[in-house]
Amino acid sequence: MSNRVVITGMGVLTPIGLDVDAFWKALCQGKSGVGLISRFDTSPFRTRIAAELPGFDPSRYLERKELKRMDLYSHYAVYSALAAAEDARLDSAQCDAERIGVIYGSGIGGISTFENQHSILLSKGPKRISPFFIPMLISDIAAGLISIKLNAKGPNYATVSACASGTHAIGSAFKAIRYGDADVLITGGAEAPITPMCIAGFTSARTLSTRNDEPEKASRPFDGARDGFVVGEGAGSVILENLEHAKARGAKIYAELVGVGFTSDAYHITNPPPEHEGAARAMRIALKDAGLSPEEVDYINAHGTSTVANDKPETKAVKAVFGAHAYRLAVSSIKSMIGHLLGASGAVELIATALAITHGIVPPTINQEVPDPDCDLDYVPNKARAMNIEVALSNSFGFGGHNAALAVRKYRE
């Protein structure tokens, strides 16, 4: 049994837009969402910039009492998932709830809750720790909360694979529908990592940009002047559905998910191998899974973090998979605009990929100013480009050597 899997709903929260339409418009305009951190005093920090959500109001879907019992990352996850379900006109009362599941990713989970409760422990003692501390902290709780909200009684679990978490969740959901374990999966990723500990930790690891005087130019994937990534926050949720189920209920279809590839570098805790062989295998597996040849791919939504460790090896991996066709591909990284949303990035980037196919527009890689001879592909510099896209790949790679690629195709009967 092998079911076709389609995307029937989408919801996003990003630094450049708090719904799908605003997000897509900002992408096409090449808008940067990076600025100075407003959440806490950054004066002792080398990095003082991030991509925060502007004016997020969770009250549309969440009540005040609920908010107090949820970490910020869960606010983002539940909000975007309910927006996606609304977009898909998904009603579990009209479907078989036992055939609707939730698979959701987060690389870090409830880090702000951890920091807050640790401070309370040190200042006020163990008796003052919240009874909701553990449920607020754990990375699987977002999947559980979404399941409760939507009465989804099918498969329900979380994926945790650093920056590949959202993509692993979506790929796992794809497989569950393809092989008949569910009809509908609510899936994606959420992250809320703009906290003192996170910024300090990534800064100490020397992975972050320190371009504090020009925040909007700090995230510059594949550019010769890149100096590190920019932390972002938000969530991306999609409704994946068995094609026949979607057609039976008259759902709109954005695009078809046709293949996934999961691999491991088995190399280093943070850095990919120089040739990024694991990334190349993930792309090849996704293409084989989809029954596609490399020459059929028009666009790659790259992982493209704006780090020396990622951008050159990812470029090499693309060349290894696509050969001469690599130079005919459009390749772009929306992290240039939204920063790196860690475990949410793959989900948001899949949504951008599906929208690119739907609208026939490739979002740009902004801040392309200094050529890098080792990064010599067509990164769609600075301006969006109109082009027909039949097939696209979306790549995600995480600390620990986790690689995931998704193959997406324009939907046709």
The C-alpha atoms of residue 370 and residue 365 are separated, in whole angstroms, by: 13
**Considering 75, 245, 303, 402, which one is annotated as catalytic?**
303
**Considering 163, 198, 276, 375, which one is annotated as catalytic?**
163
Eight-state DSSP code of residue 6: E
**Considering 75, 245, 276, 340, which one is annotated as catalytic?**
340
Known active-site residue 163: yes
Q: How far is CA 292 from CA 92, 126, 167, 289, in A?
A: 34, 57, 20, 8
Known active-site residue 402: no
- Among 160, 121, 177, which residue's Cα sits nearest to residue 7? 177
Side chain identity at 18, as an amino acid letter?
Answer: L
Q: What is the helix, strand, coil percentage profile of the chain, to 5?
A: 40, 20, 40
Helices (H) and strands (E) in the chain, counts: 13, 14
With b meaning 16 or more CB within 10 Å and e meaning fewer, what string describes 143-175? bbbbbebbebbbbbebbbbbbbbbbbbbbbbbb
Known active-site residue 268: no
Biggest distance spanned by C-alpha atoms of the chain = 64
Q: Which residues are catalytic?
A: 163, 303, 340
